[in-house]
Amino acid sequence: MKAIQINKHGNSDVLEMVDIEKPKPGPGQVLIEVHASCVNPIDIKIMEGAIPVKFPFTLGSDVSGVVVEIDEGVENINVGDKVYGSAIVLAGATGAFAEFTAVPAALVAPIPKNTSFNEAAAAVLTGASALQALAEHMNLQAGQRLLIHGGAGGIGTMAIQIAKKLGAYVATTAAEDEVDYAKNLGTDYVINYNTQSFEDMISGYDAVLDTVGQETYKKSFQVLKKGGMIVSMIEKPNEDLMKQYGVTAISQFTKVTTEHLMMLSKYIERGDVRVYIDRVFPLDNIKEAFLAKEQGRVKGKIVIQIK
């Protein structure tokens, strides 16, 4: 079968299309014929060496496809089921940038009834990240005020829609050419980070979801009220700033689970959350897909269509 692997760290030039043996599912796993995946920041981190891995390494996390084989210990999943989930090697799977992948059953769920395979793949990591941050870490409640950095990105796109459904007041930062996109997602207040400083424009917020990091993360402490919370997808908790502003800081590494996906499916099937796809690339054009992710702002997700 075809797969995209790396044998060393570097830029997109290290991505190789290889022909390898189809994986076999182990106990508690299912074998998925892959229809679609997505390019995520973690794929770029692994490729560049920020996350060391053992070579050869098959990239890809988000996955959607059809179950073609199950092993012992798998319940509530049958051959022929359309599923979506995480096939990242770091979680015990065999990688999503491949024609077939073996995945722990605890990382997949039936795809939402009203989505295509491309849309289902585009919802996985972004949707699970948003739900974990908003529902679990923040316990976001109706009437609370939330700032989301990077509202036009994959996680931001999902988080805005989920937060609005939860009844929160949502502000977000976005580039000048992303302002209308963020407004159309339902954002209450969009801050153009090209011309405006968010820390000068808002204050007293209950929570911040940070997908940007660095100085944006540090400045975000200023807009929180005492007892507030910042959840960062990038930065580790800054103890000094936590003490200075009397807030809680959490670093989130997203865990994709069947439970998260089932919850996400309800939002999508009810029409509360729409999946946004920026561009679709075939597996053969994987290098172009990575370059698009690295070089340009992406509204929603970049999908890799495999079947």
List of domains in the chain? 2-115+275-305 (3.90.180.10), 126-251 (3.40.50.720)
Q: How many CB atoms lie within 10 A of CB 27?
A: 10
Q: What share of the chain is helix, strand, coil (3-state, %, to 5)?
A: 35, 30, 35
User: Binning pLDDT at 50, 70 and 90, where does residue 298 land?
Assistant: confident
Please state, in angstroms and as integers, the Cα–Cα distance from residue 103 to each residue in 65, 90, 173, 198, following that order: 11, 11, 36, 41
Please state, in angstroms and as integers, the Cα–Cα distance from residue 225 to each residue in 164, 189, 212, 260, 289, following that order: 20, 18, 20, 29, 40
pLDDT, tens only, 130-174: 999 999 999 999 999 999 999 999 999 999 999 999 999 999 999
Least confident of 40-49, 226-235, 270-279, 287-296: 287-296
Cβ atoms of residues 29 and 104 within 8 Å: yes
pLDDT of residue 78: 97
pLDDT of residue 22: 98
pLDDT, tens only, 166-188: 999 999 999 999 999 999 999 99
Cβ atoms of residues 47 and 289 within 8 Å: no
